[in-house]
Structure 1
Amino acid sequence: MTMWHQTYDPLGNANLSALLAALPVLVFLLALTVLRLKGLTAALLAVLVSALVSAWVFGMPAGAIAGAALLGIANGLFPISFIVLMAVWLYKLAIRSGKFEVIRGSIATISDDQRIQVLLIAFCFGGFLEGAAGFGVPIAICAALLVELGFRPLKAAMLCLVANGAAGAYGAIGIPVLVGAQQGGVALGGMSQMLVPLVQVCALLLPAVLVWMLDGWRGVRETWPVLLVVGAVFSGAQTLTLVLLGPELVDIIGPLAAMGSLAAFMQVWRPVRIYREDQAPPVSGQRWTLRQVLLAWSPFYILTATILTWSLPAFKALFGPDGALGATVLHLPIALLDQRVQEVPPLVASARTLPAVWNVGWLNASGTAILIAALLTVVLSPRLTVRSAAEELAQSGKQMWKPLATVALVMAVAYITNYSGASSTIGLALAQAGGLFPVLAPVIGWMGVFITGSVVNSNTLFAHLQAVTAGQIGVSPALLVAGNTAGGVMAKLVSPQSIAIAAAAVKLVGQESAIMRSTLAISLGLLAYVCLCTLLLSWMTG
């Protein structure tokens, strides 16, 4: 078996090596924003560039490049595409069952003002779904919900992407933070405390940002009381949960508390002007009974129950190596890549051989939890039949194959970049900044999430590098790992995977570049805040 060793400065110039390492990402960005290519075309171009850079610059064997691309595509299809497809199918079943008219009416009973609706759906409900499921589920479901409520498709996608910045740091059951602390070798409590100024201030302000995006400064002035209530409850409950209990329930307790507070506050306060977009359908004067409302929302109650069950430690333990159902999880090594690539110092303390295994667990996958919720919705809905449900599934697959193919190709770029050592080259080059490195630490996290689409993956890649660099420059390792996490969250607003999911949900496939242009400035603005805050904290705690 031939072993290939990564090299992190193939050109003998760290900055030039890093520039070429970043070429696939730069090409992808330019293809979407400047050339305005479709997402699938831009992703294909990025795969080609990443393969050429890995081969010609980093000397990665062709077989290993092919294996990395295969592993990336495989993980893009399962579990990611499986999760998104099931989420969209569940949403379509809710519409076909006739429940959605009641859902729309129940939201209108809280407020028919679309500024309030975006807080309820994109911010609160989306945050809860991020905590329960993650992996694009909140974007897929909430963006589609907003369109059905009369929001313009482009704006609905944009709002849900930005809203995800309040909850994305903690993901499904706190996994991003747990992985960051583990990979960085830092105390979970110390990292959690550092996340408060980095992330929770953004969560406090994001409701105002969402209303500003929808209705400008006039909208912010007219809704500031509810913005204050929602932002303070959401961020405050998240902060208390994070500090007192840990990250696991941050995106469960915070959004639920904010949702309840919003509903209660709207019983005693109304904006002076009701805002609705021109094409928004008129609000029905019909009022629904509590039983009708509860039944209408049942697909999402069932979804919550199944996702939370799948997230329980006891359930996960069933599928562990020694679990009763462990044999149902397939571990498929990728030929020409598994145990063929080695990370070397200074990225790691000693050389480490990298596994390349595609883990396929159909029973314990989050997509299966959503599938069960969909099947139960069919059984419990008189207007749904097996045939109509199958028709909706086929239509969902036909509608989404292009964005899901885009996700798979972007994952191929990520895996080629990671296994070639190109992503590590970028991080090591930035680490040369010394005392100014804290201002760049979140940028590394941002790039990691932009490439991989996941804060978990970004922390897996760079948390150790952040911690090692922190020790070299005399800064708290917990701060830089937290900075990597917070910076990564701000990239979720423009991550190609997230944008592809949003485009599919609102039926704007092929207009990914328009969505990215609409969220890029906000993403970079939030990143700038995180960078500045990380630098100031490094001075205060150093």
Structure 2
Amino acid sequence: MYRQEIDPLGHLPFSALLAALPLLVLLILLGAVRMKSHWAGLTGLAVALVLAVSVYGMPLRQAADGALEGAAFGLLPIVWIILNAVWINKLQRASGHFDIIGRAFSSLSTDFRVQAIVVAFCFGAMIESLSGFGTPIAVTALILMTIGLTPLKAAAVATFANTAPAAFGSVGNPIEALAKATSLPADELGAMVGRQSAVIAFLVPFALLLILDGRRGLRQVWPAALVAGLGFGAGQFVCSNFFVEQLTDLVAATTATGAVVLLLRFWSPAPAEPTRPAPPPPTGPPAPPGTPRAAPATTTLAAPAATTLRTEDPGTRHRREVLKAFSPYALLTVLFALTSVEGPVERFVHDQGVTFRWPGLNVLSPQGTPVTAATFDLNWLGTSGTMLLLTGLLTALVLRVPPRAALRCYGQAFRQIRWAVLTISCVLALSYVMNLSGMAVSLGTWLAGLGSVFALLSGFLGWFGVALTGSDTSSNALFGGMQIAAAHRIGISPLLMAATNSTGGVQGKAAAMQNLAIAAGAVGLPGKEGDILRKVIGWSLALLAVFCVLAFLQSTVLTWTIPGG
């Protein structure tokens, strides 16, 4: 039996600094040294194992078992999600329908920056409201490439846009986890988070414009960012405070989308050139003089029968193909709705899950209670990856992809993400070693002992938890109890500090190694996670700083923003 040690050095600030060392090493190797992500992950894991055994006194066998549990969690559900999301994209490309999606978003506006806001910010939040675990990043990054974004920019935009809805996540799971960790009512926590996250979500579209096109993008397209941010923030606030927190992101995303569509009826941005990358030059030897120029290559769709072509209206045929192109997302929404809303299907799916203590792990918290991280949840049927697999099977039928071609697409998807598999496994192994050894507890305890300044840094604790685990749900479970314990000692509202952990954590999504690996794997840039990190880390920390100031003001002069305050 191993019992976690909070202050192994006998000086809490030094212990906390040492506890953060594995994550700092990982971030520096990726962001500054530009090391390949899988090598950076292995190095960070090695540092964490050495500290866990030599400083924190964790038995080597248990430290290794903890790393294995983390790697297993990286494979299921994380890699399982990426693999099947990329497979669906391969099916769409094989049938020619992925290009139709790009043209459909282009029909809203000819401006790629507006399209990116709708795809990454609005549509991504709809997916996040049902699935989470990086699914929106994988899906929207692929769509963003169809509207002309480079793979690197598509990955960065998709990753950063995913911060806006993360506080409520998949059907309110982060709020439920926070309620369990703090014993506070979920509806009150949801209301408090909604009053904070609405402000931060309002700012995200403006940051996206700066990532997309710098100051020119902000100058030319700010009205779209304004209405999208206002619509999303208003949807989050209203739904979380007056309806149910489980539907907050879905309502917010729908409201934001409607607001942008309405705006585009009366306004269009100044053109930004070029809005599309130039077509690649022709390959092969030049054609002899006088040779007729070939028509541009186009993707061939499965054509209806000839008799149908003569009698069916072309507009009807086009609408049908558009519906088929978007069918994977409709199918995914239906499947997640069936398995998430309480009822017979949800109960059946939940009953198939298996929960067990990871073999060899006998870890107690500093208070002497078994730690939850040593329990492995294998919800094989209800996981997002399985929902994506079912969606892919149905998509192959709808898009009429032959079984052999569908299987070939699956092999292509696996080859595309093979390096991401190693990266994610290493990063999650590092995360679990830090959590199980007590390093995360050391850092949290030090922050909680800073007195009234804690209100200013409370959001950073949530950010660190999400950057470490990749999940706002996990961060809430890890640090939620610590937040309210500190709030009681300092005399600050426990409800405020608990909510601050969840809302502050959302910006950590942009720095979470597993999300960076998901983005890199989805767009075909394995090993380039550091490049993505450099594009988003500044904006992540900037919005975190804004939020930390907001939380501090709420603890002092804006106490009326706290429910019941």
Mapping for residues 84-163 of structure 1, pairs under 5 Å: 84-163=82-161
Q: Is the 8 A contact 2:131 2:170 kept in 1?
A: yes
Q: After the TM superposition, which of the residue ranges 34-43 and 289-298 deviates more from structure 2? A: 289-298
Shift of 1:317: 2.2
Q: After the TM superposition, which of the residue ranges 307-316 and 162-171 deviates more from structure 2? A: 307-316
Is the aligned partner of 1:360 residue 2:378? yes
Mapping for residues 321-470 of structure 1, pairs under 5 Å: 326=351, 328-337=352-361, 340-345=362-367, 351-354=368-371, 356-382=374-400, 384-470=401-487
Q: Deviations over 1:339-368 (max 9, x none)?
A: x111123xxxxx212352333232222211
Shift of 1:148: 2.0
Shift of 1:278: 5.1
Partner amino acid, structure 2, of 1:300: Y
**Percent of counterpart pairs with the same letter?**
36
Q: Deviations over 1:453-477 (max 9, x none)?
A: 1111100000000011100000011
2:490 corresponds to which residue?
473
1:271 corresponds to which residue?
269
Mapping for residues 171-250 of structure 1, pairs under 5 Å: 171-250=169-248
Superposition misfits of 4+ residues, deviation over 4 angstroms: 280-284
Task: Label 1:192 to 1:332 Cα distance change in 2 as closer, same or farther (>3 A).
Answer: closer
1:290 corresponds to which residue?
319
Q: Is the 8 A contact 1:341 1:354 kept in 2?
A: yes
Give SS of 1:353's match: coil
What is the TM-score with the length of structure 2 in the denominator? 0.89
2-structure distance, mates of 1:25, 1:200: 29
Q: Is the 8 A contact 1:110 1:267 kept in 2?
A: no
1:496 corresponds to which residue?
513
Q: Deviations over 1:22-80 (max 9, x none)?
A: 11111111111121111100110111111100000000011111111111111111112
Q: Is the 8 A contact 2:447 2:454 kept in 1?
A: yes
2-structure distance, mates of 1:34, 1:501: 20
Task: Label 1:250 to 1:496 Cα distance change in 2 as closer, same or farther (>3 A).
Answer: same
Shift of 1:275: 4.9
RMSD: 2.0
2-structure distance, mates of 1:57, 1:246: 45
Q: After the TM superposition, which of the residue ranges 149-158 and 270-279 deviates more from structure 2? A: 270-279
2:306 corresponds to which residue?
none
Q: Is the 8 A contact 1:24 1:49 kept in 2?
A: yes
1:42 corresponds to which residue?
40
1:80 corresponds to which residue?
78
Q: Is the 8 A contact 2:510 2:540 kept in 1?
A: yes
Q: Is the 8 A contact 1:444 1:484 kept in 2?
A: yes
Equivalenced residues, count: 525
Q: 1:316 is matched with which residue: 346, 369, 381?
A: 346
Is the aligned partner of 1:70 residue 2:68? yes
1-structure distance, mates of 2:445, 2:86: 40
Give SS of 2:355's match: strand
Q: Is the 8 A contact 1:238 1:251 kept in 2?
A: yes
Q: After the TM superposition, which of the residue ranges 485-494 and 191-200 deviates more from structure 2? A: 191-200
Q: After the TM superposition, which of the residue ranges 303-312 and 521-530 deviates more from structure 2? A: 303-312
1-structure distance, mates of 2:379, 2:218: 46
Q: Is the 8 A contact 2:195 2:237 kept in 1?
A: no
Task: Label 1:234 to 1:36 Cα distance change in 2 as closer, same or farther (>3 A).
Answer: same
Is the aligned partner of 1:539 residue 2:556? yes
Q: Is the 8 A contact 1:197 1:533 kept in 2?
A: no
1:348 corresponds to which residue?
none
Partner amino acid, structure 2, of 1:450: A
2-structure distance, mates of 1:266, 1:44: 48
2-structure distance, mates of 1:302, 1:276: 35
2:288 corresponds to which residue?
none
Q: Deviations over 1:415-464 (max 9, x none)?
A: 11111111001111111211111111111111111111111110000000
Partner amino acid, structure 1, of 2:357: P
Partner amino acid, structure 2, of 1:377: T
Q: Is the 8 A contact 1:118 1:146 kept in 2?
A: yes
2-structure distance, mates of 1:102, 1:232: 29
Q: Deviations over 1:113-137 (max 9, x none)?
A: 1011101101110111111111111
1:323 corresponds to which residue?
none
2-structure distance, mates of 1:107, 1:229: 18
Give SS of 1:500's match: helix
Q: Is the 8 A contact 1:111 1:117 kept in 2?
A: yes
Q: Is the 8 A contact 2:328 2:391 kept in 1?
A: yes
The unaligned stretches of length 5 or more in structure 1 are: 321-325, 346-350
The structure with the larger Rg is 2
Partner amino acid, structure 2, of 1:333: R
Q: Is the 8 A contact 2:16 2:439 kept in 1?
A: yes
Give SS of 1:248's match: helix
Q: Is the 8 A contact 2:91 2:395 kept in 1?
A: yes
